[in-house]
Structure 1
Amino acid sequence: MAQYKIAVVNSSSFGQVFKEHWQQIEEIGEVKRFMLPTDIDGKSLAKELNGYNIIIASVTPMFNKEFFDNKDETLLISRHGIGFNNVDIKAAKEHGTKVAIVPQLVERDSVAENELANLMTLVRRTVQSAERERDDRYEDRAEFMGNELSGKTFGVIGCGNIGSRVAELFSVFGGPILVNDPDPKAPAGWLKSHNVERVDLDTLLEKADYISLNASLNDGNYHLIDAKKIAKMKKGVYLCNNARGALIDETALLDGIKSGKVAGYAADAVEVEPVRATSPLLQNDRVLLTPHTSAYTYECLHGMGEKCVSDVKNIVANKPLVRELTSTLA
């Protein structure tokens, strides 16, 4: 077993809350946690991780072609999550590296519930009013007017694993739910039972009071929501995004908030992470950002950790991996 060296890269949660996960992989080989710059180049990343043939990876950094071209043998990259935008799957397969992700259902409830929590916190201005109360300024309470969600129109862009759950949660408010997705992953009868209607993107933008971004990020939807799309929205619209920050043009978003077109934006993901205090997003009280913590529930982190441990055990035992992405490539 001594030939296995395991790198846990940019994950501040794996093995921290559930220490048994760390202990289990320590039984397989040497384990080290690396906290590296999110924008580290592929060659430097390969140098940092040379000698480590198993990697448990977070959402950063980028394991790109340059990384694989300069890396010594890497048997496995196990993503501590369901996204894989930061791994070049084709390059991984060419270099004999297997890539596996967490099954989608592990994160479904946690991410969707956090999106609703962030949206409601933004709309009701919960953080600002609570801070004012903490400052012994009860008399300021009339400043914190919000909006109701009941009976309003909701738009869900991307109706896959997470988006479909967001739509289900929105359905409790009794208003129409509009979804835009070329191929929504929903069972027969799901649309009708949750008061959901499939529409084109422009219709959704024009009618929705609250819009949730849940699409996966690809070359075709980078900055899907830009200034032109924001111009089509209802005045006073609220946006939320727990998917990928680059789905929205953040400069156009801030311009939309300044003009009053956008009432507020709640997000757990931004285009460049980590976000620093100097970011214009953090200077705007109509923006609520959380530090990519949608999956941070005990239930979700336990399931994610269990999957990564099973990936490591399976690669060592030469057994098939669950949700292996490299196996689907021709």
Structure 2
Amino acid sequence: MVFSTVITSSSYICLPKATRPITRRSIRCSAASVSSKFDLKTYWTTLIREIDQKLDEAITVQYPQQIYEAMRYSVLAKGAKRAPPVMCVAACELFGGHRLAAYPTACALEMVHAASLIHDDLPCMDDDPSRRGQPSNHTKFGVDMAILAGDALFPLGFRHIVSHTPTNLVPETQLLRVVAEIARAVGSTGMAAGQFLDLEGGPNGVDFVQEKKFGEMGQCSAVCGALLAGASDDEIERLRKYGRAVGILYQVVDDILEAKLETEEKEGENKKGKKSYVSIYGVEKAMEVAEELRAEAKKELDCLEKYGEKVLPLYSFVDYAADRGFSFK
């Protein structure tokens, strides 16, 4: 249920144009190089600092202390790229929303994201002992405390949106739509459904798993930003398609980079047979899928060109997801 890079090196991947169609329709990107005009690294790292500060303020240690320590351990983990909140803020600013209006929802998205990672890493799920080069939450605090920390972060996120969003900037009706959007994304028809099918194993359903486990967080982040700014229904749907494509693209590229670092015997394997385009179809096919996803995301943004330079952060986000052209270190 993640929407973040798991590769911490500054590895650069250049995706070739697809040599054969992946979907039934042909996708053309009319603004492939526009994001080169925007300094995404400065924009992103500035937001990371601001969001980190607000997350630190949002999760203060209270009783029972150990639960809060476990919550803070994952939410404030070093190396977190804050992709969901950054996308939320960028989408909100695209449609003229104030950054202060987006911060509470951005923080909530990171709480939900962290909770999903905590639960994904559990021995009964993906069984990952580490996350971003550090012990996973259950490795550090125990399985029982990790489950409680994840359980506590989900409702805290919703509460944070309701209690901290300036009512003079965002009407309550829009806030209700934001809360409903996040609830839908993490629920039984969203990320939970993707995790369920991922645990089932076997080659079938890779598209569903990728869309639900990774695309849901991406589209939810983009849609929430658009909702906060009062975007039209058509604009919200374009951001939904955009976010879905970027969320999956992030993970596909992560899988490609990870596979290239592994030995030939272990390429594409995961402990519990997790489904990915690399594990099912191999690196070459996964690279074609990634290029298609990049084109899909930019196609949706092409229809928002009336917003001028405000769309550049989202364009740049696509290219970063595909190319990993810079390091955050």
Please indicate the TM-score interval, normalised by the length of the shorter structure.
under 0.3
Which one has a larger percent strand, Structure 1 or Structure 2?
Answer: 1
Q: Return the structure number with greater relative CO, CA threshold 8 A, min gap 6.
A: 2
TM-score, normalised to structure 1's length? 0.25
TM-score, normalised to structure 2's length? 0.25
Which one has a larger percent helix, Structure 1 or Structure 2?
Answer: 2
